[in-house]
Structure 1
Amino acid sequence: MYSDVKESSPAEQTLLEAWVPLAASFLGICTAFSMSAMIGPMLVPLGSEFGMSVPALGQLATLTFLPWGVSASLIGPISDRYGRKRILLIGLAGLSISGAAAAAAPDYLTLAACRVLTGACGGFVPPSCLAALTDQFTGRRRGHAIAIGSTGYSTSWLVALPLVAFLTGRFGWRWTFVLAAIFAAGTFLLMIAVFPPGKKRESPKSYLNSFAWMRSAGPWYGIGANVLERLMIAVFITYVSAFMIRRYGVSMAVLAWILTAITAGNFFGSLAGGFLMGCSWRYAGLVAVLLIEGAALAWKFAAEPALPAAMAAGFLFSFLTGMSRSTLVDTLSNFAPQDRGTIIGVFATSNQVGFVLGASLGGLAIAWGGFGALGAICLAAGAGGAAFYMRLGRWVRALR
């Protein structure tokens, strides 16, 4: 089944009129991603306190994202039955609790358990927010709404991570966790007041029937493309810092400014994604986006251009990765109009699959052929993702 609504209903609220749920979704997504990714700037001080190496402590990130991927898929059918708001509030409460517990962690194992809880609860939040926006809006307004809500992800990288680094350096990692827990608790209380309760929805008779859409090939084309795009993002995020330091000899202070400038592209790309979603040629656009992403990273890592050109390539890649999210989420929600929480949860899980593959394959590639080998991986992933989007476009046209 595919339900594609091209135009918004005249009776539907405009984006300006519905700014409260839009802002709430943005804040929820930003809070979840900030809580999940905040461990990065803390690795060095954590190593000093627990007497562990940075690579060993880096596994805390894996312990966050793996349960995130599992919970995002499993919670979707429950969200479809009992409402987005309930699941969202449970997730935010868990994030606050895990942050407070991490602040008091006496050892590595306790901190690791707290990060598992952070990941499991974090997986509840972004899918619930995005599913709520697909419930509330249709047509082009849906694309713009998803684009605005998705900027919470970009903001978590642009604002939250530098802020975590500053607070950790100023007050220590424990107080930073305390402040993060307070922020999550504040978001929880705000959501109680402003997040829309949602409408009672028609649901399948059983939990497993929520996954009936998996029998169709169409959704898997989109999910496959997303895995390959997240693979490229993981390669970029994980290894671009080491590449910039070794190739250009930049200091950590300069690197922080470079990364901020590069990742700013994702924020603007997320907003532009709403425009792409409303275009009749959106799937052809996604094919071009994936091909350019792969080529940009291949050129950056393999050709090793001058620093300004390398930054421009990184900005372009960051911008383009923000564009695809709105169209893909809207397409997937149309494949399962009664199970949007479920299918968007699987979409969130595919993000984590791509991140794990990108980080692991990237390490093997560097060991085998240096940073230039990363370019080959990204070029292949871009071409594969473009092929998936080409098949997805044909599939959707055949159903209309």
Structure 2
Amino acid sequence: MTRLWTFIVTGVAVFMVTMDNLVVTNALPVIRLELDTGLEGLEWTVNAYTLAFAVFLLTAAALGDRFGRRRILAIGLAVFTLASAAAALAGDIETLIAARAVQGLGGAMIAPLTLTILADAVPPQRRGAALGVWGAMSGLGVGLGPVIGGAVVDQGSWQWIFWINVPVGLVLLPLVALLRESRGGAGRLDPLGVVLATVALFGLVFGLVRGGEHGWTSGPVLGALLGGGLLLLVFLVWQAVAPYPMMPLRLFTSRGFSIANGVAFVMAFGMFGAVFIGAQFLQTVQGYSPLEAGVRTLPWTAVPALAAPVSGILADRVGARWVLSLALALQAAGIGALGLISRPDVPYGHLVAPFVLAGLGMGLFFAPIARVTLGFAPRGFEGVASGTSNTLRQLGTVLGIAVLGAVFSATGGFASGQEFTDGMRVAQLVGAVVLAVGAVVVAFLPALPAAGDPPPTTGQGTSAPDATRSAVTAKALAPTA
């Protein structure tokens, strides 16, 4: 019974958080009119959530390891629910942006801990299927976010895209008490590491978010990127010498763990950068309403929810690296096809097959990448591994949108449908190339053996296949006093 409640609570919670990444997009025109704001206010309505989410992920994972994952998950749900109510009650754009940032903090506590709590609740031999369900709920949140947002705005008001989170959060909060408490093996909390990581990631993400609008060489953007990069180096140096590091660098001596995280970054860069531009094409060039555009992208964004449960089982049978390589190849094919066939008057029917290919690739990706990320982490370090992987994916998303947006601006624009399509095609082809490179790189990922095989080895750059992550391995990677 405890395992069933674990599936329900973690699945619904991750759905709610991932949905809020995109649910606000179709409400932006109404928010602009009702709150009397401009383009920058709307951008920060979206970016405040992503920014706070990305910079707090590692910190939230460390807090879960230190104080208990169930406890921090409950706090995250409470913060997210209260912030959703505050966003719904916002009477000006500044209040809405602040509430969205707090929502992002709550979401950062929820997302990685749902994964580690679920992984801890099931035996290793059933973990693939369990993570497939988790991936399906995450994919469903991404897929339905734009549709739900458009439908709510059409039938009610923009405030209801936030109010709908409140009853869900209030129902989940008491159910968290039914979950099993667990902690990680990362040792004591690393306060200096927490501060350095948070400020460094904030600077980098702030610079990436603002660079496209204000110019990459402008003072605030350049200062944020350089300052964030410098602090990130300081953070890494500190993690190498800290007695209780929040992100033990010895994790990355495993070739499998390093490749898995690099591939997660690449996937988010190529795919979500392309999604960001492609969604605008349907509205800006072909004249669909936000709800109509959201419905028409369902072959792209909702297919992952159908493919994700199968991906976990498939990865257990044929190996995670081959499923990941196929997933990235399908995404590259879908995005590349969109880049090649798109024109202002392209019939929607011609877009469906590339949408399905890209969506199928997304669905096949999430569960296996979570499996290998946790599989190459020693027992007790699952929270740190999950936080690291989620942070890299969020940064990949922000960087992908920024870079592909810059490519779009350099080769096209909004002056006409043809100009928009010209820029979109080049940007999507760049995204497809990045994804194709990822499909090749992931083939070098070590295979994960079945439960009961010898634990991974680290140090000397040796590949570290999975499995039992014994206490000996955890001790080898644990920080020393």
> TM exceeds 0.5?
yes
Shift of 1:210: 4.3
Shift of 1:108: 1.3
SS of corresponding position for 1:147: helix
Moved more, 114-123 or 172-181: 172-181
Instruction: Identify the structure with the greater helix proportion.
Output: 1
Structure 1's unaligned 5+ residue stretches are: 1-15
The 3 A distance-change label for structure 1 pair 36 and 298 is closer
Match for residue 128 of structure 1 among 103, 107, 113: 113
Show the counterpart of 1:97.
82
* 2:445 is the alignment partner of 1:392: yes
For residues 68 and 41 of structure 2, what CA distance do their matches in structure 1 show?
A: 39
For residues 93 and 284 of structure 2, what CA distance do their matches in structure 1 show?
A: 31
Shift of 1:271: 1.2
Write the deviation string for residues 63-85 of structure 1: whole angstroms up to 9, x where unpaired. Answer: 11111111111121221232221
SS of corresponding position for 1:197: coil
Shift of 1:363: 1.4
For residues 274 and 254 of structure 1, what CA distance do their matches in structure 2 show?
A: 32
Residue identity in the other structure for 1:271: P
SS of corresponding position for 1:173: coil
SS of corresponding position for 1:290: helix
Shift of 1:267: 0.5
For residues 282 and 30 of structure 2, what CA distance do their matches in structure 1 show?
A: 23
Contact kept, 8 Å, 1:66 with 1:119, in 2: the verdict is yes
Match for residue 340 of structure 2 among 299, 302, 306: 302
Residue identity in the other structure for 2:138: Y
Shift of 1:248: 5.3
Match for residue 211 of structure 1 among 238, 247, 264: 247
The 3 A distance-change label for structure 1 pair 141 and 71 is same
* 2:180 is the alignment partner of 1:197: yes
Shift of 1:239: 1.3
Contact kept, 8 Å, 1:140 with 1:274, in 2: the verdict is no
Moved more, 157-166 or 55-64: 157-166
Match for residue 329 of structure 1 among 367, 370, 374: 370
Moved more, 119-128 or 162-171: 162-171
Contact kept, 8 Å, 1:71 with 1:121, in 2: the verdict is no
Show the counterpart of 1:319.
360
Moved more, 245-254 or 41-50: 245-254
The 3 A distance-change label for structure 1 pair 140 and 25 is same
Show the counterpart of 2:68.
83
TM-score of the two chains, using structure 2 as the length reference: 0.73
For residues 112 and 253 of structure 1, what CA distance do their matches in structure 2 show?
A: 23
Q: Which has the higher contact order (CA 8 A, sep 6+)?
A: 1
The 3 A distance-change label for structure 1 pair 140 and 112 is same
Residue identity in the other structure for 1:311: V
Show the counterpart of 2:155.
170
For residues 73 and 393 of structure 1, what CA distance do their matches in structure 2 show?
A: 25
Show the counterpart of 1:13.
none
Show the counterpart of 1:291.
329
The 3 A distance-change label for structure 1 pair 307 and 113 is same
Structure 2's unaligned 5+ residue stretches are: 191-243, 412-422, 449-455, 457-461, 466-481
Residue identity in the other structure for 2:322: A
For residues 146 and 284 of structure 2, what CA distance do their matches in structure 1 show?
A: 23
Show the counterpart of 1:53.
38
Residue identity in the other structure for 2:108: G
Moved more, 207-216 or 55-64: 207-216
SS of corresponding position for 1:198: coil
Identity %: 18
Show the counterpart of 1:344.
386
The 3 A distance-change label for structure 1 pair 137 and 246 is same
Show the counterpart of 2:271.
233
Aligned residues: 383
Show the counterpart of 1:12.
none
Moved more, 344-353 or 37-46: 37-46
For residues 161 and 246 of structure 2, what CA distance do their matches in structure 1 show?
A: 39
Shift of 1:26: 0.6
Contact kept, 8 Å, 1:139 with 1:278, in 2: the verdict is no
Shift of 1:274: 0.8
Contact kept, 8 Å, 1:365 with 1:373, in 2: the verdict is yes
* 2:13 is the alignment partner of 1:28: yes
* 2:293 is the alignment partner of 1:255: yes
The 3 A distance-change label for structure 1 pair 168 and 247 is closer
* 2:53 is the alignment partner of 1:68: yes
Show the counterpart of 2:94.
109
Moved more, 306-315 or 318-327: 306-315
Residue identity in the other structure for 2:369: L
SS of corresponding position for 1:278: helix
Residue identity in the other structure for 1:39: V
For residues 23 and 335 of structure 1, what CA distance do their matches in structure 2 show?
A: 26
Question: What is the Cα-based RMSD across aligned positions, in Å?
Answer: 2.6
For residues 333 and 132 of structure 1, what CA distance do their matches in structure 2 show?
A: 12
